[in-house]
Structure 1
Amino acid sequence: MEKIVILHTNDLHSHLENWPRIRRFLDQRKRENEKKENTTTITVDLGDFVDRWHPLSEATNGQANILLMNEVGYDAATIGNNEGVGNSKEDLNHLYDHAEFDIILDNLFDKNTLQPPIWTKPYKIITTKHQTKIGLIAFTAPFPLTYNPNGWDIRNPYDILPELVEDLRPQVDVLVLMSHLGIQDDLQIAKEIPAIDVILGSHTHHLFREGHVVNDVQIAAAGKYGQYVGEVHLTIDEEKKILKHSAKAIPTETMTAFTEDEQEVNGYLEQGHELLKEKEVADLPFSLSLDIFSEHSFIQVALEAVKERGKTDAAILNSGLFLTEIPKGRVNQDQLHTALPHPMHLLNVTLGGNDLIRLVLEIEKNRLFLRNYPMKGMGFRGKIFGQMVYNGITYDSVNHQVFWKNKPVDPTKNYTFTTVDHLMFVPFFPTIEIVGKNEFLFPEFIRSVVGDYLKAHYPIK
């Protein structure tokens, strides 16, 4: 009998507070298994290891995360949407320049060449010392609305997976899918393609403490933020067939903590902050206030910035995006990153006059509800959604009339304004997604757009 152990991490999102424990645990498990004659250990990450909310990830374009992954000795990894659309195409093409592990990915292609990126492999076959062959394949969640403007052709996994499995299955004894697709797709794939033996899940941050089995396919999932590490056990008989399989998720809090861990974790934050502070972008003659009605309101400056980037006459943002003020004087990237940590891109929205009026009415209907609404997810890294603020658009609440640049909106005309993609993803303003002609502006996040605006209008002399 042969034992195969698959250790898996996923969706760390640069939450490095548990990283020292995880690193020691993975190293210890591998050392223990090496002493066992019939045991092979495979270690993989399932994506979203990099997240630019962390200053060190932001300052190094994720390169620091890859160096941390190298410490573990992963056999393979795949990407999540935070790597895929949280980076410019150029940054993603160089993210894994120093990786000491293989990147497996089967549904991402260059939009221009229609070829897979040179830093990916379609599969990896690991041969144990007992000549058992384990095949690894990987898919990431397809978001064409955001991948395509960034220069990528992201494809539906179901258009690729059946043929890939058919080709690879005869070459391997065990077939493992590294999935950054989410729980619903994992369950569906297990039902439809039982030729896959193991599905390692991620993306939707779901957790299977004791694994889950569908159609005799072993499914595993380890939550989010490094709160768990996944472990799959396979027993292989003499004919290279899986005799038994099981999975579990091990809580990181049960792993050994050292006194120096906190210093290490804080060191990553401090290093990131220091690197970002070195990158000065502007010299402000006044402070940018969180008060939306102040003379130098942060949100009003940001509205001007997004209008300029979008080349439009109007913009809409919510005040909850702005977490800290920017003081008078030299402005650096650390201040911008702290104030605007959200991985949000800009969106140009074109609506007919009647639809623009309806959108404004949706905003006004939700205004009081959203002012203190505790927003979570979809790229939002603040606390409350906040006030909706217009630039170039006004609303007469007495007469229920909408104005564009001080003139009544004409129902027969089209109007284009700039906002953040977040407003399309949240459920409060359906007009944007349902009838809007929406153009994503890549590759900058909103903080970079604001930084470029400040650099142009308040340069360092």
Structure 2
Amino acid sequence: MNEKIHIYHTNDIHSHFENWPRIQAFLKDRKASHEAAGEEVFIFDIGDFADRWHPFTEGTMGKGNVKLLNEAGYTAVTIGNNEGITLPHRDLNEMYEEAEFDVIAANLYFPDYKKPDWALPYRIYETKQGRKIAVTGITTYYQKLYELLEWKLSEPFTELEIQLNRLKEKTDMIIVLSHLGIHDDEKIAELFPQVDLILGGHTHHLFPEGKAAGRSMMAAAGRYGEYIGYVTAILKKNAPKQIQATIYETASLPRPINEQQQIISFDQIGKKQLDIEITTIKETLDFAWDKPSQLPALLCEALHEWCNADCSLINSGLVLKSLTKGRVTKYDLHQMLPHPINPCTVELSGAELKEVLLHAQDASWVNLELKGLGFRGQVMGTFIFHGIIIDKSHHEIYIGEEPINPDKIYKLGTTDMFTFGKFFPEIRRSRVKHYYMPEFLRDIMAWKLRQP
């Protein structure tokens, strides 16, 4: 007999809970409908479901997100970089303790190459008609960052080949949950024609009707829960599978009666969890994006001290909220610095550092709109320095009290997003980078504010 499989998938929701009530209601309704009809249904998430920019995720350290996935009836998930490298080791290791779904992360290991109990290399699901659906999952290869958090990642394509060899001749259909991005997904299709369906994420790409790639079908649902992916697969004995993909636009789905109340509750839960006093301040600390101001300067100083740098540079657009005099809580600092961004240092020659600093003087940075790389603000803002003096009248740059030496190697304190992005080629190309993890910028600010 032919058998029709129904597959729903999400990716890169990034804790955008404004879309979650409709997604959850839709998935629960569709799952119940298929099961009542005796049909096979699977629901998968492809990673970056949890993002610590939202107070709900920050306050529950991702466990609240797991509860939401449970309630929606997910079958399995893989992890993205926002689960893998923005949570401290212990928090990630405990995040899925109450998961009612499978977590499939084939290339994630402890440093001794043992698998966490909660991370499966693959799972084979058997349908009512006895057909076997194999699912494996892989996450993007940020090897060095995972190592700083006491994890080990295997190379995704090597790992995928190992898992596919294990699944050979055992299954009727192979699905890969890939948090690698569109280009690597195309490579999977090219190298592994035995893969029937690649459910993708990481690069926020959207395939309204899927994308055929060799013998594989690629499907992806964009970002932020704006769409839900839907794939049907008709399995026939001794005949090619018929796989079709489409999407549902979340905004066009029925609106739950209590939608707004649910959305508000996520913020309220997070705020309550983060109502922990950090310190008290005697005067309000303000900020501006288009000129030097108190909070960005204090943040730059804190980063400089934390990293023990020779000099430091940040962008003022990181700061999103003032701190009002009086009690300062974790919630206040989260609202001020919601970004999952870590401090770091890079080593540059004086000549390279000079190029960076001159480029940072460009007035066009101030209103440059910025998305991604961990940045959860609006615009870049002006650049703020510590340990750096730029004497424009004499065309001189001083590091500390000494004129910059083009041949000397300096340790520049900055944020990790400048090592990943293309803003400053000199920073990105630096061969010596050190990331301070798991601390975010808000943790560094908390440390600074607590000082006498």
Alignment TM-score, normalising by the size of structure 1: 0.94
SS at match of 1:207: coil
> Are the structure 2 counterparts of residues 105 and 295 from structure 1 closer, same or farther at C-alpha, using a change threshold of 3 Å?
closer
Task: Indicate whether 1:165 and 2:187 are aligned.
Answer: no
Letter in 1 for 2:42: I
Q: Name the counterpart of 2:335.
A: 338
Residue 53 (structure 2) aligns with: 53
Residue 190 of structure 2 aligns to a residue whose secondary structure is: helix
Which residue matches 1:19? 20
Taking the TM superposition and a 5 Å limit, the aligned residue runs for 1:197-236 are 197-236=196-235
Give the superposition deviation at 1:302.
1.0
Which residue in the other structure is 1:196 paired with?
195
Q: Verify: 1:413 aligned to 2:408, yes or no.
A: yes
Identity of matched residues, %: 37
Alignment equivalent of 2:321, drawn from 319, 324, 328: 324
Cα shift at 1:455: 2.0
Q: What pairs up with 1:204-353 in 2 under 5 angstroms?
A: 204-239=203-238, 242-276=240-274, 278-291=275-288, 297-353=294-350
User: Cα–Cα, structure 1 residues 347 and 116, in superposed 2: closer, same or farther, change >3 Å?
Assistant: same
After the TM superposition, which parts of structure 1 deviate over 6 Å for at least 4 consecutive aligned residues?
Answer: 292-296
The residue correspondences of 1:78-157 to structure 2 (distance < 5 A) are 78-111=78-111, 113-157=112-156
User: What is the TM-score of this pair, normalised by structure 2?
Assistant: 0.96
Whole-Å Cα distance in 2 between the matches of residues 156 and 251 of structure 1?
A: 34
Q: Is the 8 A contact 2:122 2:135 kept in 1?
A: yes
Deviations 1:261-296 (A, max 9, x none): 1111111112212221x2110111222121489997
Whether contact under 8 Å (2:25, 2:256) holds in the other structure is no
Which residue, out of 382, 395, 400, partners 1:400? 395
Alpha-carbon distance in structure 2 between the residues aligned to 1:435 and 1:238: 55
Q: 1:73 to 1:291 in 2, by over 3 A?
A: closer
Q: Hey, what's the Cα distance between the residues in 1 that align with 2:261 and 2:388?
A: 49
- AA aligned opposite 1:120: A
Deviation at 1:198, TM superposition (A): 0.7
Q: Deviations over 1:352-399 (max 9, x none)?
A: 2222223222323xx211011112221111111011111101112233
Per the alignment, do residues 23 and 159 of structure 1 end up closer, same or farther by CA in structure 2, a change over 3 Å counting?
Answer: same
> Per-residue displacement from partner, 1:310-356 (whole Å, max 9, x unpaired)?
12242211111111111111110111111111110011122222222
> For residues 169 and 86 of structure 1, what CA distance do their matches in structure 2 show?
35
> 1:328–1:410: structure 2 CA closer, same or farther, 3 Å change rule?
same
> Deviation per CA, 1:134-167, whole angstroms, max 9, x where unpaired?
0000011112342232222223212222232122
| Residue in structure 2 matched with residue 77 of structure 1 by the alignment | 77
Three-state SS of the structure 2 residue aligned to 1:98 is coil
Three-state SS of the structure 1 residue aligned to 2:327 is strand
Indicate if the aligned counterparts of 1:209 and 1:248 stay in contact, CA closer than 8 A: yes
Q: Cα distance 1:384–1:127, how it changes in 2: closer, same or farther (>3 A)?
A: same
Q: Secondary structure at the match of 1:53?
A: coil
Q: Which residue of 2 aligns with 1:180?
A: 179
| 8 Å Cα contact 2:291-2:382 kept in structure 1 | no
Task: Quote how far apart the aligned CAs of 1:227 are.
Answer: 1.2
Q: Residue type of the partner of 1:80?
A: G
One-letter code of the match for 1:384?
V
Distance 2:316 2:291 in 1: 13
How far apart are 1:303 and its partner, in Å? 1.6
State the Cα distance separating 1:436 from its structure 2 match. 4.9
1:372 aligns with 2:367: yes
Q: Letter of the aligned partner of 1:447 in structure 2?
A: R
Q: Which blocks of at least 5 consecutive residues in structure 2 are unaligned?
A: none
Q: Secondary structure at the match of 2:106?
A: coil
More displaced 10-residue stretch of structure 1: 124-133 or 403-412: 403-412
Q: Which secondary structure does the structure 2 equivalent of 1:94 belong to? A: helix
How far apart, CA to CA, are the structure 2 residues paired with 1:162 and 1:2? 28
The aligned counterpart of 1:384 is 379
Counterparts in 2 of 1:412 and 1:398: CA distance versus 1, 3 Å:
same
Q: Which digits, 9 at most, give the CA deviation of each residue in 1:374-430, with x for residues without a partner? A: 122211111110111111011122333221112112234322131111122232211
d(CA) in 2 for partners of 1:136, 1:268:
31
The separation in 1 between residues aligned to 2:333 and 2:40, in whole angstroms, is 46
| Superimposed CA distance per residue, residues 178-219 of structure 1 (whole angstroms, 9 cap, x where no aligned partner) | 111111111121122110011111111111111111112121
| Residue aligned with 2:14, SS | coil
**Which of 424, 430, 449 is equivalent to 2:444?**
449
Query: Can you give the 5+ residue segments of structure 1 that lack an aligned partner in the other structure?
Result: none
Secondary structure at the aligned position of 2:6 is classed as strand
Partners of 1:292 and 1:298 within 8 A in 2: no
Q: SS in structure 1 opposite 2:390?
A: strand
Q: Secondary structure at the match of 1:225?
A: coil
The answer (yes or no) to whether the contact 2:290–2:366 under 8 Å persists in 1 is: no
1:4-40 deviation line (CA, Å, top 9, x unaligned) = 1111111111111121211121111112212334x21
